[in-house]
Amino acid sequence: MVLAAISGAWGVGWLIVAAVGLPLLVRRRWPLPVLAVVVAAASVAAAAELLGLYNGLAGFVGAAMALHTVAVVEPDRRSRTALCVSLVAGGVGISLGAGGPDILGLLVIAVLLGSAWAAGRLIRARRRRKADEAERTAGETRTRERLRIAREMHDVVAHSLSLITVQAGVANHVATERPEEARDALRSIEETSRDALAETRRVLSVLREGPAEVGNPKGVGDPDELAELTGRAGINVELSVPNDAVVPAGPQETVYRIVQEALTNVVRHVGPTRCRVDIRADGQAVSVEVVDEGPAPGRVPNPPAPPGLGLIGMRERTMWYGGSFSAGPRPEGGFRVTVRLPVREER
């Protein structure tokens, strides 16, 4: 009697229809409350046969839309709970309207709500996967940037400080007996410090403003300057760059940094010795070889220096260009660093 009275109330029918449809407008803002209202309204409509028994199933289309949104935005536990509650409420409403279990009605509700929920979970999984990929990409970018900064600062600071350390030791050793040599060493320290400061400012400008905002970077023509600076630390550097060796603009700074780090390692680990730097370019690749002869005969080598990042930095620079890198002691004594950088075609 009660259900029949409700079903005859035309105004109540429209109220139920409004309760099913209107909340969907704000389902993205309040997904769970909207789902609760829509499922309740659809279940009441089905139980009271306000739209006819099977036409009442149309109310669950709105419930499916609300459940889809819940599946997209809510965590797994809440989403599964919402699906189960919706299925139970819908099943109860259909069964009351049919006067008993209605297999077809229950199957329709299960397929409708289950499909909407599954589609929502797929969308959520795809979004999560994209977000994870974006986060991983951002993390890799940050890591590459940290490595680049560390590499640039290491190349600038390590070389200059190694030279300054050697020159300061010389100045301290001869300060009283040979003051002229001490003054020369101090003058060399001043020049090296000034160059290091200028280079540090250049690197910081690159990091702050971008390469377009700064002057010319170090290039393959500057190893002469490196050879002169290293000579102040007692390293006799023989530089070989054939006149026909045209190094493209791209790898020029990489070549400079590799030579710089190789000479720094000679200063730190060997001390006064002879060293040969050979740079060649054939249009297909740029080859760099830095070879030292080891400690001079009768001279005690420098105390072992703590492991540094020089070889790692050289290898990273080489790998970035897709080149080959090798470094190791020579059988006849000394150490060899060999790098080959393929020349990239400009497009």
- 128, 225: one domain: no
Spatial neighbors of 253 by CB under 8 A, at least 6 apart, are 217, 218, 219
Buried b (16+ CB within 10 A) or exposed e, 84-117: eebbebbbebbbbbbeeebeebbebbeebbeebb
Give 250 or 87, the one with higher predicted confidence. Answer: 87
CB 343 within 8 A of CB 287: no
Tell me the residue range of the domain where 56 lies.
2-135
Considering the domain architecture, whether residues 122 and 228 belong to the same structural domain is answered as no
- Among 100, 135, 170, the domain boundary falls at 135
Most confident of 86-100, 258-272, 274-288: 274-288
**Is the C-alpha dihedral spanning 51, 53, 55, 57 positive or negative?**
positive
**118/226 same-domain check:** no
| 191 in any annotated domain | no
* Residue 302, pLDDT score: 53
Neighbours of 80 (CB within 10 A): 14
- What is the percentage of the chain residues whose pLDDT exceeds 70? 68
On the 0-12 / 13-18 / 19+ scale of CB atoms within 10 A, 130 is exposed
Residues 335, 226 share a domain: yes
Residue 149, in any domain of the structure:
no
Q: Which two tokens stand for residue 188?
A: 């060399």
Q: Which residue has the tokens 């199933």?
A: 57
3-state DSSP helix/strand/coil % of the chain, to nearest 5: 65, 10, 25
Average pLDDT, the chain: 75
206: Cα within 13 Å, side-chain hemisphere: 15
The Cα 264–Cα 258 span in angstroms is 10
118 with 13, same domain? Answer: yes
d(CA 265, CA 270): 8
Question: Which range has the worst mean pLDDT, 133-142, 162-171, 335-344?
Answer: 162-171
pLDDT at residue 115 tops 70: yes
The residue assigned the tokens 């300060």 is: 175
Question: CB burial class (10 A; 0-12, 13-18, 19+) of residue 214?
Answer: middle
Residue bearing tokens 């320290």: 189
Q: How many domains does the chain have?
A: 2
Domain CATH code at residue 307: 3.30.565.10
Of 135, 157, 173, which closes a domain?
135
Asked whether residue 258 is domain-assigned, the answer is: yes
- Where among 96, 120, 135 does a domain terminate? 135
Does residue 129 sit in the same domain as residue 6?
A: yes
- 251 shares its domain with 130: no
Residue 291 inside a domain? The answer is yes
Residue 331 lies in a domain: yes
| Exposure on the CB side of residue 209, measured as CA atoms within 13 A | 10
Tell me: pLDDT of 305 over 70: no
- The kind and range of the H/E element at 337 are strand 335-342
224 and 347 belong to one structural domain: yes
Confidence (pLDDT) at 246:
66
Do 338 and 224 share a structural domain? yes
Three-state SS for 30-85 is CHHHHHHHHHHHHHHHHHHCCCCCCHHHHHHHHHHHHHHHHHHHCCHHHHHHHHHH
CA 35 to CA 64: how far, in whole Å? 9
Q: Determine the Cα angle at 76 with ends 75 and 77, to 5°.
A: 100
In a domain, 344, yes or no: yes
Are 244 and 131 members of one domain? Answer: no
Structural domain includes residue 299: yes
Predicted confidence (pLDDT) per residue in 8-56, tens digit = 445 555 666 676 777 878 888 888 888 888 888 888 777 766 544 445 5
State whether 7 and 103 are in the same domain.
Answer: yes
Residue with tokens 């060399």: 188
Residue 150 in any domain: the answer is no
Question: Is the model more confident about 68 or about 228?
Answer: 68
Q: Are 36 and 5 in contact (CB under 8 A)?
A: no
SS3 call for 256: helix
DSSP designation for 299: -
Amino acid at position 347, single letter: R
Cα separation, 229 vs 199, in Å, equals 14
Looking at the fold, whether 336 and 227 belong to one and the same domain comes out as yes
pTM above 0.75, yes or no: no
